[in-house]
Structure 1
Amino acid sequence: MRNNFGLLLAASIMMATPAGAQDAANFLAQADRAIGASSVNSIRYSGTGWMGAVGQNFVDGEDWPRHVLQSYERVIDYPSQSSREDYVRVQGDYPARGGGQTPIIGERRTLQLASGGYAWTLNGNGEPVAQSPEDAELAQFMIAVSPHGIIKSAMAADDVTLVDRYIPSQDRTLKVVAFTAMGGHRVSIEFNDQHMMERFMTQIPNPVMGDMQMEVRYEEWMDIGNGIKFPFLFHGHRGDHLLTARTGMNWLNLNVSEATANVADAALTVPASVRDAPEPQVNVDPQEVADGVWLMAGGSHNSVAVEFDDFVTVVDAPQNEARSQAVIAEINRLMPGKTIRYLVNTHHHWDHLGGARTYVAQGATVVTHESDENLYRDAVFAPQIRTLSPDTLSRNPFATTGPGPVALETVKDRYSISDGTRTILIFNVQDLAHAGDMLITYLPQEQILINADLWGPPAAGAPAPANISASAIALYRNMHRLNLNVTTHVPIHGQPGPNADFERIVGPAAMQQQAALEGGG
C-alpha cells in the first residue's frame, strides 16, 4: 500500500486549494469556446479502429482481447439525449485468445439505441428489444461524457471545482475540472494551456470491479466548421486498477474519418414496446439432473447446485447479484438448513464472476484457479466502497482481522470436495484459448461433467452445429486425457445433453485436428 501511494504522489501533485466556483465557471466558458460545445445540438461521426472485449481476457493481467472495428458510426442528439451507435467487428489479425465472442467468425454487427432514459436494440426482424435499466443508464452517461456533452455536463453541474495538476514526467501543469454527473458519477477532465480537453476519468458501476475506472483520451482535435472542433482520435480504458496487474486495460481505439455537427433527424423516438416494457425479472428454473444435483436454469447463464450431507456446493455465480440472490433462494427452498459452503468459479470472465460476491458475503469459500488469487483478493472481493451500485458484501463487509475477509481455495491442476459419500472433482482445462484458468467439474458417481463456454449440447432433434469450436475440441481432449467416464454434459449455457451426442459431434473434428497436428499439416 505504501509503495502504491508513493507512486500516486509521484505521478501527479495537485495544489491543495481549489479555485472558487466562479473561477471554474470562467474556465469552462473558455473551454466551451475552444471547441464550440454550446453550438452543438447534434453530432454524427464515423471511423475505424479496434475494440477490446472488456472482462474477457485470457488470464488476469493480459489486456482485453481486441477485435477490428471494420466500421463505426455514432449519432448523438443532445436536446433529446438520444444516441445511435452502429458498428461492425471482425477478428482481423488479432490473436484468437480470450472470450467476448473471440474468435469472431465473419462479421458481427452491434446496434445500440438510446433516448431519454431508455435503451434498446433491434432483433433479427427489425423489432425493438428493450435493454436493462442499467444499460439505459450507462447509455445516458456516455452521452453526458461525449466530447461536447462533457463540457455541457460540467457547465450544468452545481459542484464544479478547478485545480492545477503538475505532471512531473511531462514537466507541465494541467487544469483539472471535477464535478458530479447524473447524480453520482464523479468526473474529472484534464485541460491543456489552450483550454483544450485532453482526457477525462470517471467510474461506472460493474458487478465485478465495483466503481470501475473508465478513462478516455480525446486527441487530434480538428475544426469541422462554424467554430466547432471534434477529436479525431478516441482512446479509452476500462477496468484499470492500481492494486492489481490491471493498469493498462485498453477498451477502445477509434480513428475518426468524418464528423458533422448539427445533423438533421438525430433525435430518436422511444418505441412504445420499449417504453411500456415491464421491468426485467430474474427467472430461475431448477431442474434435478441427478439425485441432489440441480441445474439452476431459466436465463442465459446457469448455476449448478450439488447437495452434500450437511452443505451445498454451487458451480458458477454468473451475471450479477440479482441472479445469485434468486439462485440462493431456490437452493434454500430445495435444500433447507444446508449452508452453501463452496462456490466453484469456472473462470474469471466477468459474465461468470458477476454474482460471486453474493456468495462470499454469506461466507462461502471460493474455489478458483491459482492464477486468479491476487485479482480476487485485491480487487473483486476486497472491502472497497461501492457507491454507484452497492451490493450485499459492500454493505456488510468482513473485518480485516480475525478469520479474514474472504476464503479462497486455489486449484493448479486438480481439486476435490467430498463429504465421504459424494465427491466432486475439479480440473483445470489445458490447451484452451478461451481462458487459461478454466475449470471443469466432474461428478464421478453420477458421471456428470459441468462446463462453462466449452460445449452447449444441441436441443433434442436439432441439427449438429456446422462448425465445431476449438473450445469444444479442447473439452473433448481434456475429458479423454483425464479418463473421465461421462454420461451427461451439464453446461452453464444451455440444457444438459448426452455424452453420446458429444462424442458423435465433436469426436471426428478432434480426431481430424489431431491427425493434422501429427502429420504436420
Structure 2
Amino acid sequence: MDCRKRSRTNAPLSLASTLALALAAPAIATEAPHDGDPVPGKSHLGCDGMDARACVGQAITAMGGRQKLGAIGNVHYQTTGHTALTEQSYRQQPFITAYERDDLMLDFDKGRLVRVAHVTWPESDPHQSEITQTLVATPHAGVYRGEKGDSPCSLADLDTTRDALALGPERLLLNASAASDLHYAPSQWLRGTAHSVVEFTWEGAPIRVLLNASNHLPDAMESTRTFHDFWYAWGDVRQRVYFDNWHLFQGLVLPTNLVELRNDVPWQSTQIVDANFNNKLDDKSFAMDAAVASKSAQSKGWDRPFSDKSRIELAPGIELYRGSWSTTLIKQDDGVLVLEAPISSTFAQGILAKAHDEYPNTPIKGVLTSSDSWPHIAGVRQAVAEGLPVYALDLNRPLLARLVSSPHSLHPDALQTQPRAPHWIDVAKKTEIGRGANRVVLYPLRGASTERQYMVYFPQHHLLYASDTLALNADHSLYDPQLMHEVVQAVEREHLQVDTVYAMHEGPTPWNDVLKLVSAAAN
C-alpha cells in the first residue's frame, strides 16, 4: 500500500487529539554540552576507583601498552595540513589559509627533529607562493638551513619542537605518567562524550589530558600558555589539541589527525598520510651550526625592545623610527602623536618613553593604530595602560576591545598589573587632529583588502602614511599590488595631493614611483 496516499485520505486530527499526542511525545532534547563543559555529578568516568596514575596507565594500555609506546625511538611522518592566518587576514574571521606538506623526523631518543616544509602561502605574489623551509632543532636551539648557510630559528620554532617531542601523542601519556604532580582535574565533555581529565605540570605550564570514558584513549590535550608566535599579543592563550582519526600501526593505536584550537579559534590542522617508526638515523641529517643555533634561544621574540638607531626626519617634527615594525612621532603645537604601537607592550613602552625624551614637558595627545594585524596592535595595551587616547578604525574596535581585556597573568604587563578603561576615539570617517604644519587627517581606506586600515595624511607636507599597504620586493616591484591600488583609489577619492608615501614596512617613497608600479602591475 502507498503510505503517502493513505496519509492524505486520513481525516484531520481533532484539537483534543493533537494536544494529547503533543503531551505524550517525548520532550525535545536539551542543547548538547559544549566542549570543555564540566560533567555534573560525575567523578572520574571510566577510571572509577583508580588514582590518576592508574587512569593514565589504562590509557597507555589502550594505545598498545607501555612497552610498545616507550619503544618508539623515532618516527618519520609525511603530513599535510593547513593554518589559519589569524594574525594577518585582511578582514579577520573567516581567515585566509596557508597550506603545508611536511617531511618530519622526530628523534625522541636524542631530543631533536628535522622538518622539511613545503608551504603554499596565499598572500604571496603570483608564482611566488610556493616556499620550502628546512628546520633542524632541539628544544633549546635550532636553525633554518639555506643556500647561504644556517640562520637562527625563532622562539616559536623552539616551542613547536618542545611540544612535538614531549606533548605529541607518542610521548604525552608517558610524560604524564612520570610527572610527580599528576592528579585528576574535573571531568569534561568533549564532542558530546564524557571524559576523565588528568593534569600535570610540564615546563611550568599545567597540561590537561582528556581521556575517553569508553575507550580510554586520549582525545585531547589542553593548556593555557603564552606563545612566542603571533599569538603572543593575546597573553594567556587557551590551547586545545584534538587527537583523532586513530589508526593501528605496528601494534600501536595512534591518532593521525591533530587539530589545534587557540582561544576557541580552529587554528591548525595536521594529517599524517604516511608513517615509519624506528628508522636508522643519520646524524648528518640533524647537523647544524652550533654558534648560529645558540642565537635562536637568545632572541627576544615578540617582546623585543624599541630601537631608535634608524631614525629618519620626514619633515620638521615628524620622525620615523624604522625597523621590522616602524613607528612615527608627530610633534604638534599642543602635544605629540605616536603613529603605531606594534609588537608588544615592551616595544610600545619604548616608543612612548622616546616621545617623552624627545619632547619633554609635552603631553602625548594620543596613539594612532591604523590596522588590524595582530603584530601591529599588540602595543595598544601599553597605550591604554598609560591612559592615552587611541585612534582606532571603527571596524577594529571589537578586536581591540578583546585585546585590551585579554588576560596576561602568566607574563604580566602594565595593563594586567594596573587595569584601566580604554579611551577609544573612533575613526569612522575623515578625522582631523591638530593644527599647523603637522596637522594630520585620517581617512578610512574601505577597500576590499584594506577595509580594516586607515591612512594618515600630512596636508602641509604632501606626505602620506599608507598603513600596512606599501612593501617592495627585492626587484623593486610591489608586494601585493592590490593594496596600493586601493590606496591610489582612496587618494583620488579624497582629492589628496601626495608627493611621498611610506608605510609600516616601507620607508619614504616617491608617490610617482608608486603610481608607475601600480600601473605596471595592472598591465
CA contact (8 A) 2:328 2:338 kept: yes
Q: Give the CA deviation at 1:429.
A: 1.3
Q: 1-side partners of 2:478 and 2:328: how far apart?
A: 28
Aligned amino acid, residue 273 of structure 1 = A
Q: Cα distance 1:327–1:134, how it changes in 2: closer, same or farther (>3 A)?
A: farther
Q: Point out the more displaced range, 308-317 or 101-110.
A: 101-110
Q: 2-side partners of 1:154 and 1:138: how far apart?
A: 19
- Show the counterpart of 1:303: 327
Q: Give the CA deviation at 1:498.
A: 1.2
Q: Give the CA deviation at 1:25.
A: 0.7
Q: 1-side partners of 2:503 and 2:170: how far apart?
A: 46
CA contact (8 A) 2:338 2:366 kept: yes
Match of 1:438 among 441, 444, 453: 453
Output one character per residue of 1:373-412: Cα deviation in whole Å (capped at 9) or x when no partner.
22322x2101x542333222212222xxxxxx11111222
- Show the counterpart of 2:359: 335
Provide the alpha-carbon RMSD of the alignment: 3.1
Unaligned runs of 5+ in 1: 1-5, 241-248, 399-404, 513-521
Q: Give the CA deviation at 1:101.
A: 4.9
Matched, 1:157 2:175: no
- Show the counterpart of 1:148: 170
Q: Give the CA deviation at 1:23.
A: 0.9
Q: Give the CA deviation at 1:419.
A: 4.6
- Show the counterpart of 2:80: 48
- Show the counterpart of 2:345: 321
Q: Cα distance 1:234–1:185, how it changes in 2: closer, same or farther (>3 A)?
A: same
Aligned amino acid, residue 292 of structure 2 = V
Q: Point out the more displaced range, 498-507 or 134-143.
A: 134-143
CA contact (8 A) 2:317 2:438 kept: no
Q: Give the CA deviation at 1:292.
A: 0.8
- Show the counterpart of 2:240: 215
- Show the counterpart of 1:81: 111
Q: Give the CA deviation at 1:417.
A: 1.6
Matched, 1:38 2:70: yes
Q: 2-side partners of 1:162 and 1:336: how far apart?
A: 56
Q: 2-side partners of 1:355 and 1:338: how far apart?
A: 21
Unaligned runs of 5+ in 2: 1-31
Q: 2-side partners of 1:112 and 1:335: how far apart?
A: 45
Q: Give the CA deviation at 1:147.
A: 1.5
Aligned amino acid, residue 274 of structure 1 = V
Q: 2-side partners of 1:157 and 1:266: how far apart?
A: 32
Match of 2:413 among 391, 406, 431: 391
Q: Cα distance 1:20–1:441, how it changes in 2: closer, same or farther (>3 A)?
A: farther
Output one character per residue of 1:219-270: Cα deviation in whole Å (capped at 9) or x when no partner.
1111221x32321222222242xxxxxxxx2222222211122233287455
CA contact (8 A) 2:135 2:143 kept: yes
User: Aligned residues, how many?
Assistant: 473
Q: Cα distance 1:505–1:10, how it changes in 2: closer, same or farther (>3 A)?
A: closer
Q: 2-side partners of 1:10 and 1:52: how far apart?
A: 22
Q: 1-side partners of 2:267 and 2:503: how far apart?
A: 29
Aligned amino acid, residue 230 of structure 1 = L
CA contact (8 A) 1:442 1:449 kept: yes
Q: Cα distance 1:64–1:37, how it changes in 2: closer, same or farther (>3 A)?
A: farther
Match of 1:12 among 38, 45, 50: 38
CA contact (8 A) 2:151 2:293 kept: no
Q: Report the identity percentage.
A: 19
Q: Give the CA deviation at 1:39.
A: 2.4
TM-score when normalising by structure 1: 0.82
Q: Give the CA deviation at 1:7.
A: 8.4
Q: Cα distance 1:14–1:78, how it changes in 2: closer, same or farther (>3 A)?
A: farther
Aligned amino acid, residue 233 of structure 1 = N
Output one character per residue of 1:429-456: Cα deviation in whole Å (capped at 9) or x when no partner.
12232x5311111111121111233113
CA contact (8 A) 1:309 1:419 kept: yes
Q: Cα distance 1:396–1:41, how it changes in 2: closer, same or farther (>3 A)?
A: farther
Q: Point out the more displaced range, 275-284 or 196-205.
A: 275-284
Q: Give the CA deviation at 1:22.
A: 7.0
TM-score when normalising by structure 2: 0.81
CA contact (8 A) 2:428 2:444 kept: yes
Q: Cα distance 1:73–1:10, how it changes in 2: closer, same or farther (>3 A)?
A: closer
SS at 2:314's partner residue? strand
CA contact (8 A) 1:290 1:446 kept: yes
Q: Give the CA deviation at 1:104.
A: 8.1
- Show the counterpart of 2:10: none
Matched, 1:456 2:471: yes
Output one character per residue of 1:319-373: Cα deviation in whole Å (capped at 9) or x when no partner.
2233323323332332223333312112111121122212221112221121222
* Bigger Rg over Cα: 2
CA contact (8 A) 1:311 1:340 kept: yes
Match of 1:107 among 107, 130, 140: 130
Match of 2:94 among 37, 45, 63: 63
- Show the counterpart of 1:465: 477
Q: Point out the more displaced range, 387-396 or 284-293.
A: 387-396
Match of 1:72 among 85, 88, 102: 102
Output one character per residue of 1:249-306: Cα deviation in whole Å (capped at 9) or x when no partner.
2222222211122233287455322344383474332221111111111x21111111
- Show the counterpart of 2:389: 365
